Structures are given as C-alpha cells and as structure tokens.
Amino acid sequence: MEEAVQETWLAVIRGIHGFEGRAPLQSWIFSILVNQVRRLATREKRHARPADPPGPERSDTADRGVGADDEEEPGLGPAGRWKDPPVPWSLDDPESALLGGETLEVIEAALESLPEAQRQVVLLTDVEGLAADAVCNILGVSGTNQRVLLHRARTQIRRALGDYFTSGKSGARTRGRKEGGPSR
Amino acid sequence: MMNCREVTASGSDYLDRKVGPGRRLRIVLHLAMCAGCRAYMRQLRMAIRGLQSLRKPPAGESPVDEDLLSKFREANPRRDD
C-alpha cells in the first residue's frame, strides 16, 4: 500500500500538467491511486479475495430498487415478507453507541471482510464522502453497479452491527429487552 | 402494495433520496405499517452514519486545490516553458 501511495504521488507530480481541472483534484488523485493499487495487485498476483461476480447491468432498476434480484435479507420469507424481522437494537443512546471505539472496530472489521469491489465503493462513497458520479469515474463502474455494490456493502455493515449490538458483547446499554444472541 | 423484499432492496436508494416520488410514497406507506422494515431502515441508516464517522478529518486547513496545483507546478516546471 505504501508503494502504491508513493507511486501515486509521483504520478501526480508527473501528470499535473495534463490535469485540466475537469474533475475535482481529489477525484483525479483517487483514480490514480486506484490504478496503482490495481497494477500492484496484478503484479504481485495477490488475489486474496475472490472477485465479485459482475454486477447486474439492467436499465429497469431505476424503479425496482437495486438488488431486487440479488442476495436478499436473510430474515425474509418466500412471500417477500419478514419471517424473522430485524431484532431492534434498543440502544439507549444510538449516537454514542455508534461512536464508541469498539463499534468503529466492528465496522472496520466488517469492511475488511467485504469483497473488494464492494469495499472500494463503500469506502469512497460513505467513508470518503465522494459523489456517486465521482465514484463511478474513479472505479470505472456504471451508476447502477455503484448503487448495487453500495447497498450490498451497507447491508453487510448493518448485519455486523446487529450481531454486535444484540449479542450482549457491546457495552451499550439496551432498554429492558433481553435478546438471546444474534438475530440469526 | 410493496412487500418487505422490495422495500429492503430499495433501502439505500430511499435513504440516499434516489427514488422517485411515486416509489417514495409507496415505501413510506409500507413503513407506516411494517415494524420490521422500520427497524431495518433505522439500522441501515445507523450503518451509514457509522461508516461516515470513520471519515478522517483533514489535517488542519489543507491548502485549496489551486494552491496545491501551483506548488506542484513550481516544483516540476514544464520543460518547454
């Protein structure tokens, strides 16, 4: 990773005259970084994680919700209704529970276990706060794909948080209800 | 009437305000009647907030793009200038 960062800065310095300011500087540098990481990963043949299957390329998703045909929530029954609805987290103070150091570690661990493409999209979109079209440009994915990958990644983070908050492992106090273990 | 599968599949689009008004209304109507999907949306929103809270604040006031650009260009003058 350090090598990728060094190569990125060198490429930025070498390429700065070619940068025409059509995209924000931040997006441009990110896109160079992504390319450097990809190049190094290919060179080192480190395919630690299986690549995502190519995402759906549909034109009709705009009004059907991304992921309609994809992996769905595990608690849903055959009729498309909840069989095992999500267990409420019942946090006294969601804000401080969320910002606790341990909770952030849970989120970071869940990020680590995501497939590469999902992790890239959610890191740039939610963590770095880039606009969706900038993320599409940097990663070379379609808008539909960006939304599919983003939603999949977020649902994995939700599940990880749910397992943590309902397992009693979190120090966060819950309101009254005693839940018996994770929701699944 | 939308079912829970469709509502959860649209969760990110709904929270990111990327659904049209008709679909939005149908989701809101479903949420009004379905405690499971309300819990799901609350939890998905919290997951997003948690991800956003990982964002590192910029170290001090970073120079604006133009400053940074001119510094790079000074450091690396164009050969044919």
Mind giving me the DSSP string for A65-105? Answer: -TTTTS---TTB-TTSSBSSPPPP--BS-HHHHHHSHHHHH
Q: Which residue has the tokens 């977020």?
A: A154
Closest chain A residue by Cα to residue B11? A151
**A33 vs A120: CA distance, rounded Å:** 12
Test the B interface: residue of A32, A158, A175 with most B CBs within 10 Å: A158
Q: Which two tokens stand for residue A97?
A: 């529970």
Half-sphere exposure for B71 (CA within 13 Å, toward CB)? 6
Taking only the tens place, the pLDDT of each residue in A98-126 is: 878 889 999 999 999 999 999 999 999 99
Q: Using 50 as the pLDDT threshold, list the residues of chain B that sit under it.
A: 81
- List residues bridging with A82 in a β-sheet: A76
Taking only the tens place, the pLDDT of each residue in A62-103 is: 444 444 445 678 899 988 999 999 998 878 787 788 878 889
Q: Give pLDDT, residue A183.
A: 46
Q: What's at B48, amino acid-wise? A: I
Q: What is the mean pLDDT of chain A?
A: 78
Contacts of B10 in chain A (CB under 8 A): 65-66
State whether residue A27 is helix, strand or coil.
helix
Q: Are A69 and A56 in contact (CB under 8 A)?
A: yes
Using the 8-state DSSP alphabet, how is residue A62 labeled?
G
Mean pLDDT value of segment A6-26: 76
The 3-state secondary structure of A112-149, one letter per residue: HCCCHHHHHHHHHHHHCCCCHHHHHHHHCCCHHHHHHH
Q: Give pLDDT, residue A62.
A: 42
Say if the Cβ atoms of A12 and B6 lie within 8 Å. no
> In whole angstroms, how far apart are CA A24 and each of A51, A92, A134, A169, B64?
29, 41, 9, 42, 11
Contacts of A67 in chain B (CB under 8 A): 9
> In whole angstroms, how far apart are CA B33 and each of A75, A80, B2, B59, B72?
18, 15, 11, 46, 57
Taking only the tens place, the pLDDT of each residue in A18-52 is: 777 777 777 788 888 887 777 777 777 555 555 55
Backbone angle region of B56, left / alpha / beta, with phi > 0 → left and psi within -120 to 50 → alpha? beta
Closest chain A residue by Cα to residue B22? A63
